[in-house]
Structure 1
């Protein structure tokens, strides 16, 4: 089953209240309104695209070890997935799909990292929950997400909903700003140029991990 098929199945169960999902039905129009407004804002179209220079970053892994994009790119191309946090079931499905695809990325000489605003403890939870073998990095205040053009502030009515649902982003992230990254996937070439970019303001839609393989293969072929 494709990643998007899994996401669609989860969404149907969530909206239908199918066990173990018992979310109040009145929350769905609120979430859909926020997504529609983010789509309409056009922010995704203004985010960094293929051909742009990728911002350099140094972020900590869950053990507090700094991870440098510059150092990673010395070894080969870099695949980056921006995700919202371990509290997001759509993100967890994506992370598991990326783990399954990791050997294919490695075969093309590429590294993979996932970036979220959550703190180290929740990044460790991401690793455990999804049985990941690639680095999870903490982007405090979503500063790197902002550099890529994908950070956004939650509208007040969505903040209120999250609070009512006990989805405490300040506690998850150690940051009171109530901002998130739009889910995004990038492939960065060794020269720092973005080779592939997929940004979606609708968090229920994610690209397939296999979508990046043609880009990685072209990069490998051109280097040989």
Structure 2
């Protein structure tokens, strides 16, 4: 289990735009927000990321870098990028099940034709510029994810009041 105030595992990913992304190379003013999502087969993920697209400038204004990551293949990730309204969100793919387990994510076996054999369940992590975990929200299914407006308000409070990460004990 990852604990707040400790280093998170490194992330090195290819993005659908042909570039690479590395967590340790991020230089946000406040946080890097890493969103793990189920993939192309998930209509709730589509809605969630499309909402994120509308709030992306708000997160940037609060000093937050954002990335969304799935275990989908490059082909499936590019299909999402083309079909979903998420043009400005860095989209990583081929996140391994082994790496997902290192992050404490839940993993599901596909039960429908449109689902991959195995895929990750959602998680949202706020990571400080020094690579330590500030907060995590991890789900076992696609429902009940953190609301972006709530996160934006929380980040405002956290940065204004220098509120420490909690849950480290």
Per the TM superposition, whether the score is higher than 0.5 is yes
Q: Please tell me whether Structure 1 or Structure 2 has the larger radius of gyration of its CA atoms.
A: 1
Which residue of structure 1 aligns with residue 167 of structure 2?
none
Give deviations 1:42-99, integer Å, cap 9, x for gaps: xxxxx43533422111100014422111112x23320111001011101101101111
1:105 aligns with 2:49: no
Match for residue 127 of structure 2 among 180, 188, 209: 188
Q: Relative to structure 1, is the Cα distance of residues 202 and 181 closer, same or farther in structure 2, using a 3 angstrom cutoff?
A: same
Question: What residue in structure 1 maps to residue 28 of structure 2?
Answer: 75
Q: 1:144 to 1:220 in 2, by over 3 A?
A: farther
- Does structure 1 conserve the Cα–Cα contact (< 8 Å) formed by 2:10 and 2:23? yes
1:219 maps to which residue? 159
Pick the structure with more helix per residue: 1
1:124 CA drift (Å)? 1.8
Q: What is the CA distance between 1:153 and its match in structure 2?
A: 4.4
* Partners of 1:151 and 1:130 in 2: CA distance: 24
Structure 1 position 191, deviation (Å):
1.2
How many residues matched?
A: 159
Pick the structure with more strand per residue. Answer: 2
Q: Cα distance, 1:105 vs. partner?
A: 0.4
Q: How much is the aligned-residue C-alpha RMSD, in angstroms? A: 2.1
Query: What 5-or-longer segments of structure 2 have no aligned partner?
Result: 163-169
Change (3 A) 1:216 1:87: same
Contact (CA 8 Å) 1:63, 1:120: kept in 2 or not? no
Q: Show the counterpart of 2:10.
A: 56
Q: Which residue of 1 aligns with 2:114?
A: 167
Superposition map of 1:149-160 within 5 A: 149-154=104-109, 159=110
TM normalised by structure 2 equals 0.82
Distance 1:49 1:65, change over 3 A: same
User: CA separation of 1:101/1:192 partners in 2, compared to 1, >3 Å: closer, same or farther?
Assistant: same
Q: Secondary structure at the match of 2:96?
A: helix
2:82 aligned residue (128, 135, 138): 128
**TM-score with structure 1 length normalisation?**
0.64
Separation (CA, whole Å) in 2 of partners of 1:51 and 1:211: 22
Query: Which consecutive aligned stretches of 4+ in structure 1 deviate over 3 angstroms post-superposition?
Result: 49-52, 219-222
**5+ residue gaps, structure 1:** 1-46, 170-177
